[in-house]
């Protein structure tokens, strides 16, 4: 597995047991609580243990410091680029965990302040209750760096009204707390100053009864009113443009809208789209569109294939170039390959979506009795070393 810059003595996830309540704290505040392999393993261990524990009724999750979670540890992926499948295990474990968070059997509440992006937001949006504040910032910016919208977001974004999902996935546009509630990706807006008291009240409630939990949260929550300039007030333009069949047509349509009076907000969006990886955008658009017709399990399996093919540079090394430009050299001047949409061969895009052999797919069970089966350590991957993996034909016969 790729090496990550984590102090072995550092408690990256805290798990407290308080009578019938379990409190998870993402505890890498200096790194904005990014998700490392150790974080994933600890979260999975806690959640499985507590779902099976009859004494556990309510799960709370929060982030230490000024962020909830900024998502995956990009440095870990970049550092593993020269080693065969160095990040396969953490990817497998994370997506397997995402499926279980969506289908969790106990009441969960996410208390979200600060940054909640990408994989970090996958610990917020699926929860039964997700509480946001005026400091919450959400986005899914993966496509812009040559990656794709993952951790279940091809399922979640594709179910938003109209074509808002395509817009968020392709542009990485940020939503604030009010917008998250209005869009249905958070359940309650609570002023930040009240969040500590809400946490105390939920702990003292000592119950997982959904109506009781909701009632407590509503004592602290306030109704949201969107700011006049909110992107959610531009949905007619977004739907008109992001319903188009291809990324090129979406950009052309958006350019046309940008020339109309009152659409000055589109300028920054267009600039971002044109600077993003053409390969990443093409893969992401297709994934979101397919997600509308897929189950959660199908989306998770598809995202696992996409991630592994992208990290293996099956059709492009853009993801590593995007990470380099954003977080390593920080020059914000990526050189995409291929550099234009016309040069991104659709048949090559087909390749990254191609199913793996059954035993090499992400193993998530939709059978309630066996829902905790399919762990990495019991998968075909765990039995193969890197040399054997390199020689293995991953794809199913078409």
8 A C-beta contact, residue 389 and residue 84: yes
Interatomic CA distance for residues 171 and 276, integer angstroms = 9
Helix axes 296-311, 278-291, angle to 10 degrees: 160
Contact 221, 189 (CB under 8 A): yes
Angle at 88 between CA 345 and CA 146, to 5 degrees: 35
Q: Which of 15, 63, 71, 72 is catalytic?
A: 72
Q: Which helix (H) or strand (E) holds 117?
A: strand 115-117
End-to-end Cα distance, the chain:
31
- Residue closest to 244 by CA, chosen among 301, 160, 162, 344: 162
DSSP, residue by residue, 91-109:
HHHHHHHHHHHHT-SSEEE
Active-site annotation holds for 150: yes
* Tokens (6 digits) for 134: 């005026």
Beta strands in 135-283 (DSSP E): 137-139, 175-176, 188-189
Burial 116-152 (b: 16+ CB within 10 A, else e): bbbbbbbbbbbbbbbbbbebbbbbbbbbbbbbbbbbb
Q: Please, are residues 158 and 288 in contact by the beta-carbon 8 Å criterion?
A: yes
What span, in angstroms and rounded, lies between the C-alpha atoms of 211 and 215? 6
Decide if 62 contacts 135 (C-beta within 8 A).
Answer: no
Active-site position among 142, 179, 303, 321: 142
Q: What DSSP state is assigned to residue 355?
A: P
- State the catalytic residue, choosing from 73, 79, 85, 150: 150
Backbone angles phi, psi at 14, to 5 degrees: -100, 135
Told to judge if 72 belongs to the known catalytic residues of this protein, a careful annotator would answer yes
Catalytic positions = 72, 119, 142, 150
């Amino acid at each position: 597995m790729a090496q990550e810059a984590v102090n072995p003595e550092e408690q990256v996830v805290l798990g407290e047991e308080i009578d019938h309540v379990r409190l998870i704290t993402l505890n890498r505040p200096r790194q904005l609580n990014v998700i490392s392999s150790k974080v994933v393993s600890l979260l999975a261990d806690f959640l499985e243990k507590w779902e099976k524990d009859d004494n556990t009724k309510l799960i709370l999750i929060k982030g230490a410091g000024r962020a909830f979670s900024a998502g995956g540890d990009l440095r870990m992926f970049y550092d593993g680029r020269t080693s065969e499948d160095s990040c396969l295990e953490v990817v497998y474990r994370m997506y397997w965990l995402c499926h279980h968070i969506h289908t969790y059997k106990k009441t969960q509440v996410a208390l979200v302040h600060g940054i909640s992006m990408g994989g970090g937001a996958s610990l917020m949006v699926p929860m039964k209750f997700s509480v946001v504040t005026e400091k919450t910032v959400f986005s899914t910016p993966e496509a812009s760096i040559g990656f794709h919208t993952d951790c279940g977001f091809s399922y979640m974004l594709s179910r938003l009204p109209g074509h808002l999902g395509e817009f968020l996935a392709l542009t990485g546009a940020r939503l604030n707390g009010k917008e998250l509630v209005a869009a249905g990706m958070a359940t309650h807006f609570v002023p930040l100053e009240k969040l500590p008291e809400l946490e105390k009240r939920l702990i003292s409630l000592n119950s997982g009864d959904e109506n009781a939990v909701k009632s407590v949260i509503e004592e602290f929550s306030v109704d949201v009113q969107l700011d006049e300039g909110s992107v959610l007030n531009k949905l007619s333009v977004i739907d008109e443009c992001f319903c188009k069949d291809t990324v090129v047509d979406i950009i052309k349509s958006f350019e046309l809208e940008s020339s109309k009076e009152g659409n000055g907000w589109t300028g920054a969006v267009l600039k971002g789209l044109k600077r993003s990886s053409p390969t990443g955008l093409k893969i992401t658009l297709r994934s979101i569109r397919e997600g509308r017709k897929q189950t959660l399990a199908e989306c998770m399996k598809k995202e696992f294939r996409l991630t592994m093919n992208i990290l293996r540079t099956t059709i492009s090394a853009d993801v590593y170039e995007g990470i380099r430009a954003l977080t390593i050299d920080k020059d914000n001047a990526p050189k995409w390959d291929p550099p234009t949409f016309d040069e991104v061969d659709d048949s090559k895009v087909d390749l990254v979506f191609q199913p793996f052999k059954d035993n090499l797919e992400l193993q998530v069970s939709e059978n309630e009795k066996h829902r905790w089966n399919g762990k990495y350590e019991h998968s075909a991957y765990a039995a193969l070393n890197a040399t054997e993996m390199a020689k293995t034909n991953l794809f199913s016969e078409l």
